[in-house]
Amino acid sequence: MVNFIRSFLLLIFCAVLVADEPTESDQKRIMDFISVLSGSWSNKDQVATSSGGHDLVEGYARHVEMPALADKFVLLVENAVNNRVVLLNVVEVVLDETDKNLIRLKPYEFTDPRKYKPKEFSVDDLRNITRDELKHDPDCVDNLARLADGVYSGICAMCGIKVFGRTPGYAVTITCEECTGAFPLSIPAKSTTVPYIFRLIEKYPLLNAPANYVSPCDKKLGGSSNSTQG
């Protein structure tokens, strides 16, 4: 009887461990999202052709690996408004625990901005950053839903900004080639009646993607966004 109880408890313990590990399907869902967002984005075409008064906004999202967030799916994200960097974060990408079509983004700020310079991507710099040099605001989380293969929509938080004591958010839709965002007041980019429209300028690769992995964008656009880089 004692042996039976021990075996039963061991079975439960192992089941919990397995449940905590992301499955192969979960990992693919996360990689699909990263493959869609990863790249450089700009609304320069909109600024050049529209009279809506939009600021020039450029965004960079790059899949990275760093010891401080080992075994996590991480993006390095930079945003610039009129050539001035207004955001520089590393972002952990996770699936919602109950709805696997929901993606949560957890941004981490650098506690010492001198540790990493914007627009100067350096793997070595990221490797030298410790967990103590990153900080995360629990109220600052982006929530995006997968609407179709390669299409995501949701609300992103403007971290570090407070309006009436709350962190403002903005609606965003992301596809393989285009991203639209409706910015509220009190953020670095000018608020307009017409949403910002960002076009993909350059696609950045996934790191260490399985050899047989095909991203949603590869299916739609052709080519490959995979990489075996470390």
Catalogue all structural domains in the chain, each as residue range(s) with its CATH number: 24-206 (2.40.128.590)
Residues 6+ apart with CB under 8 A from 5: none
Which pTM does this prediction carry? 0.82
CA distances (Å), origin 95, targets 21, 68, 156, 157, 178: 12, 20, 15, 17, 23
pLDDT at 111 over 90: no
Query: Out of 6-15, 100-109, 117-126, 132-141, which region has the weakest mean confidence (pLDDT)?
Result: 6-15
* For residue 16, pLDDT beyond 70: no
Between the alpha carbon of residue 12 and those of residues 3, 5, 8, 17, the distances in Å are 14, 11, 6, 9
